[in-house]
Amino acid sequence: MSEETGHLGSTRSFETTEGTFTYTEVSEKLAVSLARILDQLLQTLPHEIVITPEWLCQKHRELAGHLFPEWSGRFRTTDVKVGTLEPPPYYKVPVLVHSFCDDLAERLRHVDDEDLPDMAEFLAWVDWRFQWIHPFKDFNGRIGRLVLAVLLYRLALPPVETAPTDPERRRKYLEALRAGDAGDLSPLQKLWIRRLGDAI
């Protein structure tokens, strides 16, 4: 099971090193870790942050290692299903993550930081591709949002809301991700154009 199947108020529970917690309680603990990670990243010069498979695993460990030391910071070792999405088999994850990081670096080199649709297209691809690979057992959404926050920082863009809590906005976001799964990233690109336009 993955985090994307849960939501605040979920009855799902977690066995952690600190005891049994509800989804909401775990979310609160992870929010503290995520804020600390973001604060550390903002103390780093943008061009010095390089997203690699090792970086992703390190951030996942920093996020959840205190609660789930057995599997945090490691790629998943089982197949999963996320709603209607069946991410790639677990044994393909390492290669897919390496390709994702290489593609991201190359696309970042060519993105036009004065062209809103071009930046939105790039961010939409990153947003979709990471969630499609679904590299970790859990908390992929949070790591994906961290990657997006880093890229906004690299592109000198303001922070945007990447995890809509409004039910209608969340529904549209999930529909856009599913359209990406079917090969059409235009709904997600439009969503990103709107996000960036609201923030700039």
Catalytic residue among 47, 60, 66, 134: 134
Residue 134 near residue 86 (C-beta atoms within 8 A): no
Q: Is 145 annotated as a binding residue?
A: yes
Work out the angle between the directed axes of helices 53-64 and 23-42 (0-180°, nearest 10): 130
3-state helix, strand, coil in the chain (%, to 5): 60, 5, 35
Q: Decide: 191 and 128 in contact? Cβ < 8 Å.
A: no
| Residue 138, marked binder | yes
Tokens at residue 46, please?
């943008």
b/e per residue 139-171 (b: at least 16 CB within 10 A): bbbbbbbbbbbbbbbbeebeebebeeeeeeeee
Q: Please return the burial class of 119, using the count of CB atoms within 10 Å of its CB with bins 0-12, 13-18 and 19+.
A: buried
127 is in an annotated binding site: no
66 is catalytic: no
- Count of CA atoms in the C-beta half-sphere (13 A) of 70: 5
Residue 26 tokens read as: 């775990």
Q: Please check if 143 is assigned to a binding site.
A: yes
Question: Which positions make up the binding site?
Answer: 138-145
Q: Which residues are catalytic?
A: 134
Question: Which positions make up the binding site for ATP?
Answer: 138-145
